[in-house]
Structure 1
Amino acid sequence: MNTEKLKFSDYFNKWLYSKDGYYSNYKQIGKEGDFYTSVSTSSFFGGSIGKRIVDSIKEGNLPKNTTILEVGAHHGYLLADIIQFIYTLNPKLLESLNFAIVERFDNLQKQQTKYLQECFGDVIKIKHYNDISEVKLPHAFIVANEIFDAFSCELVYTNKEENLQMAYVKNHKIEFENCKDVKIIDHCKKYKITKGEVGIGYEEFIENITSNIKKFEFVTFDYGDKVPRNDFSSRIYEKHEVFPIFKENLDLEKYFAKTDITYDVYFTHIEDCFKDFGVKNVIFKTQMQALVEFGIIDLLEILKENSDENTYLRESQKIKTLVEPTGMGDRFKMLHVKKFS
């Protein structure tokens, strides 16, 4: 039992990233796992990103020998989908493009290498980085799907006396104390956050990208919005069941390191981080708007022309799930960041 009192952010990190943490070993995603992602819903999600990469190179934003860099690739499914669709749209590009993954866990690096080897043989070479700080490139297209909700966070709320409280965890029990962290206090004042999560580590992550990669496009999709929710969104996923972290009688010890823990991302915070480091071209859209703009409908038309009706209808239904306004299409948001000079 954990008898040490921890800030919630440290507890969150141990939950996901300790030696026996949830992300330290490969986990199934999709029907057999704890949750679905857009990647597990349809290969056309990655295909749309692949099309954006092809179009960006065609537009002259990035060179033909740029690096496609995924941060937190899990099994490697998304990068494989991107590569497959690049091959469909412009096979010659695979002769010049470079591919890389940022992954802290050695066993997951091996899983990713094995999977991509099975998919593409020796055609594709993958370079692994253990941390984003190691990445130093002249140009890159960076993909970070559902990465920011896996950054640790602090839990805060303002009590009746209007004092900001911050969460600590001892024996898997959450307690609140007066917040003494000036950065957290200033952050909450700046964004008018009275209750909810404050993402930790965004600034350092984005500084590494903006400082060490001269030209880039950066695309991230995640749960969340541009306005503060001012409520707690932290939750646990187990076998597609969702448990709010403050659910009555919830036993955190039971789920600790065995299930996924996450929260809604505050996209304005991420956007401002990029702008603070000199990148002004930051575009926010719903997933539906982003995938349509990236060309998912064009890809579906290509499928229609080159497959049977059943295959087309089956994939159409999956794509509908990705873009439906009442589902993933609006619930997931995208930031598309461009730095070309």
Structure 2
Amino acid sequence: MKEANETQLSKEIIKMINDSPEKRITFYDFMKMALYAPELGYYTKDRKKIGKSADFYTSSSVGPIFGQTIANSFVELLQYASEKETFFILEMGGGDGRFARDVLNAMFEKYPKIYQSLTYFMLEASPYHQDLQREHLERHLNHVKWIDQLQDLPQPFIGIIFSNELVDSFPVHKVKKVNGKFKEIFVTWNEERESYEEITAELSHPSLEDYFIQQKVTLKEGQVAEINLDAIDWMKHVAQRLTRGYVITIDYGYPADELYASHRHEGTLMCYYQHTANDNPYQLIGEQDITTHVNFTALMEEGKRWGLEPVWFSTQSHFLMNSGILEMLQEIGLDQMKNKDLFQDEAIKMNRAIRQLIMPGEMGETFKVLVQQKNMGSYQYRFMTSALKQYGL
């Protein structure tokens, strides 16, 4: 039995279940409603989601150092991609706009010539987040354009398409291995118990079984797994709109063989509310985030079908260190420490943010970075060269 909360959104989901011929909906449909129902879903309502007083942190929440460091890689890649003095970046799902602000601030200060010729596109479905983005990007509005869909990008689009913690928020199908066969997990409503319940039945679409064949993975008996078909579709459309340049995807996840390993017997779905994690998507509907880990193998394989060549896949820690984050460490002598506020001093805060972004056990290992390129030559990018070698060690 699963907990339900009497919200308008929950009532609409229950109505959807009761109106369906078999009195059930796919978990995909449930998750899509919980996250994206107009004005009621978690991502579509006017509600703060990122930060200390909200539900979760992103790398940009740690401080400006994340965007400042990635700006270094953006500048390098833009110069390889563009044959003219016109530079394009598209950020998809930019949250409250802090990352874009930090990137543009860094470019304005360190790379003024590129900044002057740059258009930074933002694709954001939430009107609430668009308003936050405009607020944070006030000083850069002459260089920022908001679009509603990928088709609104100028063609040809030559530059960078970037996302950070976007793909993990796409709705997913849930499947389970039962008696040697793939079954799908559906959501029903138990009127007597006033609760959501999960049942298994035949797959809603044959593409779900085809997915595991293509990924060359098998599930153990009783194992539950998520299938993110929207991520594959997203990768296809992103690749189609990019004429020349790069796709950079940062998120938490694994290659397929690791993602669907038998020790992840219940899958990877997690919910977040006020910085507390749980695995029950049937409570706090519309008030809590629901996420699953990303299958990076699927993104790479779909990208290849549309001309995207994978050039880098590793941890955020390696990417940021190779992109110059260690150069921003502030030297603080022991004799200076007694005169500094450990919580407010800017140098200490900067060093603490760098540690959080790159250290094992924190964001550095949890998040992965996938860089794909299209219609580009073979280059030895800085982020592909070990930070130790860059310092001659």
Query: Aligned residue for 1:56?
Result: 77
- Equivalent-residue separation in structure 2 for 1:253 and 1:314 (angstroms): 38
Q: Which range is displaced more, 293-302 or 277-286?
A: 293-302
- Equivalent-residue separation in structure 1 for 2:161 and 2:331 (angstroms): 25
1:299: Cα distance to partner?
A: 3.6
- Equivalent-residue separation in structure 2 for 1:121 and 1:180 (angstroms): 46
Q: Is the 8 A contact 1:9 1:200 kept in 2?
A: no
1:330: Cα distance to partner?
A: 0.9
Query: Aligned residue for 2:42?
Result: 22
Of the three residues 230, 233, 245, the one matched with 1:216 is 245
Query: Aligned residue for 1:334?
Result: 369
- Equivalent-residue separation in structure 2 for 1:81 and 1:10 (angstroms): 36
SS at 1:149 equivalent:
helix
2:275 maps to a residue whose letter is H
Query: Aligned residue for 1:78?
Result: 99
Deviations 1:54-87, CA, capped at 9 Å, x for gaps: 22234x3335421121100111111001111112
1:263 maps to a residue whose letter is T
Task: Check 1:176–1:136 CA distance in 2 against 1; reply closer, same or farther (3 A cut).
Answer: farther
Unmatched tracts of structure 2, length 5 or more: 1-10, 18-23, 190-195, 334-338, 377-393
Of the three residues 176, 189, 192, the one matched with 1:157 is 176
Highest Rg: 1 or 2?
2
Q: For the aligned residues, what is the CA RMSD?
A: 2.3
Task: Check 1:147–1:281 CA distance in 2 against 1; reply closer, same or farther (3 A cut).
Answer: same
Q: Is the 8 A contact 2:300 2:310 kept in 1?
A: no
Q: Which range is displaced more, 291-300 or 93-102?
A: 291-300
Query: Aligned residue for 1:112?
Result: 133
1:239 maps onto 2:239 in alignment:
no
Q: Summarize the alignment of residues 1-341 of structure 1 with structure 2, pairs less than 5 Å apart.
A: 1=11, 2-3=14-15, 4=17, 5-19=24-38, 20-25=40-45, 26-58=47-79, 60-62=80-82, 63-117=84-138, 120=139, 122=141, 124-137=142-155, 138-159=157-178, 161-171=179-189, 172-191=196-215, 192-194=217-219, 195-226=224-255, 227-230=258-261, 231=264, 232-245=267-280, 252-300=281-329, 310-341=345-376
Number of matched residues?
Answer: 327
Q: Taking every aligned residue pair, what percent have the same amino acid on both sides?
A: 23
SS at 2:74 equivalent:
helix
Task: Check 1:303–1:88 CA distance in 2 against 1; reply closer, same or farther (3 A cut).
Answer: farther
SS at 2:243 equivalent:
strand
Task: Check 1:326–1:106 CA distance in 2 against 1; reply closer, same or farther (3 A cut).
Answer: closer
Q: Which range is displaced more, 172-181 or 148-157?
A: 172-181
Q: TM-score, normalised by structure 2?
A: 0.78
- Equivalent-residue separation in structure 2 for 1:238 and 1:153 (angstroms): 20
1:136: Cα distance to partner?
A: 4.0
- Equivalent-residue separation in structure 2 for 1:318 and 1:289 (angstroms): 16
1:259 maps to a residue whose letter is Q
Deviations 1:89-136, CA, capped at 9 Å, x for gaps: 21222211001111123343233223211xx165x3321111234334
SS at 2:29 equivalent:
helix
Deviations 1:300-322, CA, capped at 9 Å, x for gaps: 46999xxx984222201111011
1:207: Cα distance to partner?
A: 2.0
